[in-house]
Amino acid sequence: MRPLGRKLLALGVGGGAALGLLIRLTPNGEAWLVALLAVSAALVALAQQTLP
Partner 1 sequence: MHAAHQRNQAGTSWIAKAVVFALAATLASVLAGWVLGFAGEAISFNARVAVASLLAVIAIGIGALELGPRPPRLLQWDGETPQRWMNAGALRWASLNGAALGIGATSRIGFWLWYAIPCSAFLLGDPLLGALLYGIYGCVRGWSVWAFLLLPRRLGIGGDAFGVWLVTHGEWSRLVAATQLLAMGIAVAIAIGL
What are the residues binding partner 1 (CB under 8 A)?
Answer: 1-2, 4-6, 8-9, 11-13, 15-17, 19-21, 23-24, 29, 33-34, 36-52
CA distances in angstroms from 32 to 2, 14, 27, 38, listed in the order given = 32, 16, 10, 10
Closer residue to partner 1 in complex, CB, 27/49: 49
Minimum CB distance to partner 1, residue 48 (Å): 5
Closer residue to partner 1 in complex, CB, 27/51: 51
CA dihedral 47, 33, 17, 3 (to 10 degrees): 0
